[in-house]
Amino acid sequence: MSESNITAEDVRAARALLQWSQSDLAKAAKVGVSTIADFEKGARTPIAANLAAIQQALETAGVSFSPDGPAMFGEISLHLMIAGDLTEMRFRYRLDQAAAVLDIIGAFGSIDVGDVDLAMDQTATPELKAAIDNLVQRHGAAVPQLKKLRKAISVLADGEHFLLLPERPATTADRLAFETYLHRLNNPDDEQDGGMFDLFGPLLERYDISLPRTDRRTVIGGGSCICRFCHRSAAQGASFKKAAHVIPTALGNDHLKSDEECDDCNAYFGCETEPSLIAMLNVERVFLGTQGRGKNDGRPKLYFGKDSLRHDGQKVVIETYSTSKDNTGTFEVNLGKGTPLIPVAVYRALVKIALSVVDEHQLPHLKKTIEWVREGKQANLPLPKVATALVDLSPNPSAQITVYTRKEPDPRLPHMIGEFRLGCYLFVFAVPFSDQDSWDLVGFFGDKAFRDVFKHYMAVPHWKQRDLSGTSKVIPSPQLRFVPRSS
């Protein structure tokens, strides 16, 4: 219901639901008591601003308005943690439906005169699964979240433990603690997690970690429709009609999207920065069989002059005029000129991905960073190098992003670190120009403070430091070297 349609009868009914006096509503809406009284008796209609304030006060208190009149709603959120996943279930209900909701929640605990006692530790049993099936049959039409709940529980083995949390863990360290506790419940004989805390303990003390999922639909943003990069809203002329992929689809991502990137900024990144990142990863995309969109099931076919490189869905196919082989059996392929790229555009594309997923409360500290990514400002300032490595991880062909955000001020540790991964190819970069950093972060990867905290990176034996500050086009000519597998 729009502000202009709320009626005096709606206000009287809403007050009755809340058991508010006219004075209570006037105080909550910050208007005069006479404004409420005159409106309810039909003497006058408040000005638009006051009418909006009255409606907002009632909605904030839990009243929902519809053409059928006001209704009072309650809400309960549960967070179901199973191995490797955390699912939020939000039950919003009319007060006259409270008994049904208590019935649903009661499947996981006990109810005594309306008081619900839920244990954090839960176990998937045939009885619990049958109870949830029964709830779906009785309340599934009115409470569609029940089907999501049934799906989450049905995949668990009988006797498998899961956790029922009243709220999302506040920090990464808290979530890891819950995950470790759950792992121990399900694997009581496994005592091999002590080394994990030695490796990640200092990191979790100092940083929060954001790792959005890319294997299922994930949307960044709360529907505010305010662009993170140009700060415009729909009311200011920005449009949000096109799907804004946080990571380009050419890098295997079709699930992680943002509703806080307007069409203009989306088009800008698609033309000015992302093509360079894709071009830099062209060979890697082929060897991983990364699927985007288009022909050949979205797998790229690359041309290097007369040479070509492609993945046919089962193997890599190389067509080239320049090969050599030595007496050890090592085989080399020298490809021709590939797709041009601009190094600094690669860096800006990586940072743009990090900015897309970082907590919105950090954005005010990153104004200069956003200007650099979106407008190319700060071009005269030095940039730290990007650390790259080939890591022994499963060759997932879809790209992933992890962002580490420092919790407290520190004179040396970077405010924000990004980790971009495409399969077994890893890129670690500092997010530059944050007002929470007291230095330019040049050489951050070798700094003692960084090495003491990011110990898991130090466990990787071979890192290459890449200077991505160049503003001129670079034309890659890849050289592929195949070495016989040792016995």
Rounded Cα distance, 316 and 307, in Å: 14
* CA count, 13 A, side-chain hemisphere, 390: 2
Q: To 10 degrees, the CA torsion angle through 168, 171, 175, 177? A: -130
Euclidean distance between CA atoms 393 and 390, whole angstroms: 9
Distance separating alpha carbons of residues 418 and 430, to the nearest angstrom: 6
Cβ neighbors of 347 (< 8 A, separation 6 or more) are 383, 386, 429, 468, 469
Strands (DSSP E) contained in 339-424 are 386-390, 399-406, 416-422
In angstroms, the CA 8 to CA 55 distance is 11
Beta bridge partners of 401: 420
Cα-based distances in Å from 337 to 38, 305, 317, 456, 481 = 78, 6, 18, 36, 17
The stretches in the chain having pLDDT less than 50 are 1-4, 114
Tell if the pTM clears 0.75, that is, is over it. Answer: no
Q: What angle do CA 239, 67, 233 make, to 5 degrees?
A: 15
CA distances from 39 to 16, 22, 62, 350, 389 (A): 16, 11, 21, 55, 68
Half-sphere exposure in the Cβ direction for 10 (13 Å, CA): 22
User: Residue 265 is encoded by which pair of tokens?
Assistant: 């900024």
Domains in the chain, start-ordered, CATH in brackets?
A: 3-67 (1.10.260.40), 73-191 (no CATH), 218-334 (no CATH)
pLDDT at 2: 42
Query: Residue 23 is encoded by which pair of tokens?
Result: 């004075």
- CA–CA dist 55, 25 (Å, integer): 10
Q: What is the pLDDT of residue 1?
A: 40
pLDDT value at residue 222: 64
254 vs 151: CA distance, rounded Å:
23
DSSP string, 106-118: GGGEEEETTEEEE
User: H or E element: which one contains 309?
Assistant: strand 307-311
Q: What pLDDT shows up at residue 93?
A: 65
Whole-number Å distance between alpha carbons of 269 and 230: 12
Q: Which residues neighbour 103 within 8 Å (Cβ) at sequence distance 6 or greater?
A: 135, 138, 139
Here the tokens at position 391 are: 């890591």
CA atoms 65, 68, 72, 76: torsion sign: negative
Neighbours of 121 (CB within 10 A): 11
